[in-house]
Amino acid sequence: MRQALLERFLRYIKIDTQSDGQNLESPSTPSQFEFAKLLKLELEELGFHRVELSDKGYLSASVPKTIEGVPCIGFIAHLDTAPDFSGANVTPQLIHDYDGSEIKLGEDELLSPELFPDMLKYLGKTLITTDGTSLLGGDDKAGISEIITALHFLLQHPEIPHGEVRLCFTPDEEIGRGADHFDVPEFGAQWAYTIDGGQLGELEFENFNAATAVITAKGNNCHPGTAYGVMVNAQTMAARFHAKMPLHDTPEGSKDYDGFFHLINMQGQTEAAELTYIIRDFDLELFEKRKTWLTERVKSYNADLVLGSLEINITDSYFNMKEQILPYPHIIDIAEKAIINQGVTPLVKPIRGGTDGSRLSYMGLPCPNIFTGGHNFHGKHEYICLESMEKAVDVIIDICKLTAKEQQV
């Protein structure tokens, strides 16, 4: 399977499928739909059943059950790559028998274990890197490659007992819309796993509660020569507001289960300015307190103003999937056993972000997240270990076997 997995992955990452948060259509970029069409043809040629591509860019397919009385389960990955860094003209490098040294990425960039010490976990392994001009696209074309490779193996081996296995490849996960048009009843699985994690062994069923806060400063513009007592500079108001935000309650000042406020955009002119924050916390009560605190701070700021004003609008984005998954502990137990069966220690940890699985869990499809084998997603230093990708394939296959063994009624 190694060669098929590698060839599949290298073929997929050549296709630029960056999503576009400014486009409200689904998919947000035509290239995602074109990629889905190519995958549809491939799945049909490989013998998958019920291969369907929706007009919103969701590609689904099935491996038929080989025994009765086993729950239908699913595996999910996303078609798009992040808009954070270029996904065009990906030129991968294969580093065989990695020796622990720096890896040159093109002319000007280095992938160094001094900066990325996790590289040293892969001595003697095969690494796939960028050439320093693009991201690699392992997030999540590695997941797509691993799911297809694993489920094709099941198709080729009908003697393996398992229930019906579903797959779905979704658009626009990187811009938070991967579950927008996901049809849970039509998908038909009792639970699923997103194959969208990082390093070898990762198993995640907790993620941030998330919201976006937009604070609008309203000022008053006039000619600066006659501004005395009249002009209210909205940009100045916004800058002073942000300057008094907590200094260390930020992504760069937090880790593990810490939450944060993160200023992701500031723009404006004298007349009006805007601050956009994302709010994150694992604990729902603390999450609500963060939203209340920011709202009260805007009110307090306004109370001290003579002219001008701030307004705040907070929109919830997604919630911690832990609350929807813990009532079904067998979902986690099966995944942990499958990882252990491959000789890998499960790395159970919270996602300091979100996945399609977080929203799908609240839509009635409990959906933990499993590793792909990659590191440093969304940038030019992204790399992935081929042997870790093989382990992900084996974990997917074993989850199907264990589900049949432990959940058959």
Question: From residue 156, how far is each of 103, 159, 160, 192 by CA, in Å?
Answer: 38, 9, 9, 22
pLDDT of 243 strictly over 80:
yes
Give the chain's domains with CATH numbers: 2-206+320-407 (3.40.630.10), 209-318 (3.30.70.360)
Q: Which is catalytic among the residues 140, 173, 281, 390?
A: 173
Instruction: State which amino acid sits at residue 90.
Output: V
358 vs 151 pLDDT, higher one = 151
Quick: pLDDT tens for 120-154.
999 999 999 999 999 999 999 999 999 999 999 99
Mean pLDDT, residues 319-335 taken together: 96
The mean of the pLDDT values for the chain is 95
Beta strand segments in 49-92, E: 49-53, 59-63, 73-78
Percent over 70 (pLDDT), the chain:
100
Residue of 261, 258, 249 lying closest to 283 (CA atoms): 258
Mark whether 99 is an active-site residue: no
Provide the pLDDT confidence category of residue 253 given band limits of 50, 70 and 90: very high
Upper half-sphere CA count for residue 262 (Cβ side, 13 Å): 17
From the candidates 80, 146, 202, 394, which is the catalytic residue? 80
The single-letter code of the amino acid at 223 is H
Per-residue pLDDT tens for 190-234? 999 999 999 999 999 999 999 999 999 999 999 899 889 889 999
pTM of the predicted protein model: 0.90
409 pLDDT tier (thresholds 50, 70, 90): low
Closest C-alpha to 78, from 377, 317, 288, 282: 377
pLDDT at 176: 86
Annotated binding site: 78, 139, 174, 196, 378
pLDDT at 91: 96
Rounded average pLDDT over 23-48: 97
- Give mean pLDDT, residues 356-384: 95
Q: Is 80 designated active site?
A: yes
> Are residues 93 and 86 in contact, defined by beta-carbon separation less than 8 angstroms?
no
